[in-house]
Amino acid sequence: MLATRIREVTALAAGTDLSLATRRLMDLCDEFPVFHDLRGAAMALRADYNMGRELGAAEMSGASGSALAERCRQLAAAIGQRSTGTAEVGHAPAAEVVFQAQQLTKAFRSGGHHFQLGPIDLELRTGRIVGVVGENGNGKTTLLRQIAGLLDHDGGTLAHPHAGTDPYRIRQTIAWIPQRSVRWQGTLLQNLRFQAAVHGTLGAANEDRVLYTLHRLGLTRFKDLTWKQLSSGYKLRFELAKMLMWRPKVLVLDEPIANLDLQAQQLFLQDLKHLAASQRDPVAVILSSQQLHEIEAVADDIIFLKNGKAVYSGAADSFDRDRNSNVFELRGVFQRAQLEQALGAGAILHIDDTGLIFRLTTPRTVGPQQVLKAIANADLEVSYFRDISTSTRKLFHQDP
């Protein structure tokens, strides 16, 4: 585990993504006791990166960027040197079950409309991310609220192996980040300090934890701002920072990236993945989203809800592995007939024209390379292409 992580930071330090490199260096020094003495250096590196980078700029540039990159490489080298001859420490943390739901149901009846969620079986394990996807009004938020302990269930059983049955204790292990963050008072720094202190991190450890988190999540320059002064993206990062203050076992996020720009989405999901898989404090993450591709990229497991039922629940990379056909989405400057002609009749099972894109279904034997090659041969101009054969996106287009 340690060797993998060292290889990762060494590679990152040699690259140009200083943001990721500084973050991972911090994580490594924080999570493994053998590097704790380098924690300060990693933190200083990250702090300099945060303060040196222009607000909104993708990356540091110029002499300062080069100098920082050099320092990253030096730190990575020091870590590499330190690890030489050190016994392999820290295996990948065992994925502990922190939440279990069996045959979970919830029914609503309002104005003649009846909706039932479930029954759903679900298991959350530390270090793993579960993505809940589905169209609007299919029960994603209801499911997440039940997992977060905010909403009671009608049927089935819930278990929190770490917290027993005391509701307060259970809530102490679950962090809930709603779609719209609840307004908080005071400055970001005050809130983080308070959050850490009320969960038992006191004195110098409190300050250290807060500073570490501020630097790690790039919030340093916003530490004295209030709720009103922060953008949606930073509010979300603040929620994540708060969570880091008390290290819950389960992190539940409802549509966290709905209001983020693409760069912020990437950054957030990257952090989420790293935090979930933390060596020291792994956390089980469950999040809902409409940004299917981003979620599928980060989630280990996917639950697809349709009319309250889990149409799919399982590993993200196992979806429709035994399929008979492939499905592609594409858009370009061509007509349906041109596409049919380019691919030939044998390669097409079905073409669905949504008006914006074509959804092409081919036999399993026809892969993305063949489709793209055929299009290129026909000299058709393509502006968008995606293979959704193993994506739950396919399920969006199935009639109920």
Partner 1 sequence: MKLLRKLIPDFLRQWDLELQRSHPRLWSTRIHHHLWFLLLINALVFALGLLIRVTTVKFPDPEDLFGWIMTPTVVYAAFWVYKVVLFTPERRFGIRKPFAEVGELGVHFISLLLIMTIPYNLALTVTYRIANLMTDAEFAEDVDTLNKNAYLFISGDGRLFSAPSNSYDEDAQPYLTSSSSHGYFKDLDEYVDRNRYVEDGPPKVGQIYEDHITAYNEMADPDLESYDPVRAAFHRVQIDSIERTCPFYFTAHGPFTPQAWGGIFLSDSLLEVGYVDLVRSGRPVDPEAVRRTIELGHVYSAYVTDRSVDDVLREFTQRRSSSFNLDTADQQIRNMWEAKTWNYDFLEWDTLIYVLFISCFLLAIVISIFKNLYWQPLLITAVVCLLLPITLLVFALILDEAVRNVNEEDILINTYYAIALFLAAWVFLAPRTSTYGTVRAVLAILANLIVPFIVFFTLTLLHIEWVIFGLDALQDSLYVLRDTAAFNDPALAALEMEVHDLEQRVQMILTVVFWANIALYVIALHSFFRATYTRMMALPERK
Nearer to partner 1, 110 or 369 (CB): 110
Identify the three-state secondary structure at position 201. coil
Nearer to partner 1, 46 or 153 (CB): 153
Nearer to partner 1, 55 or 168 (CB): 168
Identify the three-state secondary structure at position 264. helix
Minimum distance from CB of 175 to partner 1 (Å)? 9
Nearer to partner 1, 108 or 384 (CB): 108
Under a CB-based contact definition with an 8 Å cutoff, are residues 131 and 302 in contact? yes
Minimum distance from CB of 98 to partner 1 (Å)? 16
Nearer to partner 1, 147 or 267 (CB): 147
Rounded-to-integer distance, Cα 125 and Cα 70, Å = 38
Minimum distance from CB of 162 to partner 1 (Å)? 14
Minimum distance from CB of 148 to partner 1 (Å)? 9
| Residues in touch with partner 1 (CB under 8 A) | 145-146, 149-153, 166-168, 170-172, 185-186, 190, 193-195, 197-200, 202-204, 206-207, 246
Minimum distance from CB of 153 to partner 1 (Å)? 8
Under a CB-based contact definition with an 8 Å cutoff, are residues 78 and 85 in contact? no
Chain length of the chain? 400
Nearer to partner 1, 23 or 153 (CB): 153
* b/e sequence 344-355, b meaning 16+ C-beta within 10 Å: eeebbeebeeee
Of the candidates 275, 290, 264, 293, the one whose C-alpha atom is nearest the C-alpha of residue 387 is 293
Minimum distance from CB of 380 to partner 1 (Å)? 54
Return the ∠ at Cα 112 (arms to 110 and 115), rounded to 5°: 60
Residue type, 80: G
Under the phi-then-psi rule, with left for phi > 0, alpha for psi from -120 to 50, and beta for the rest, what region is 46? alpha
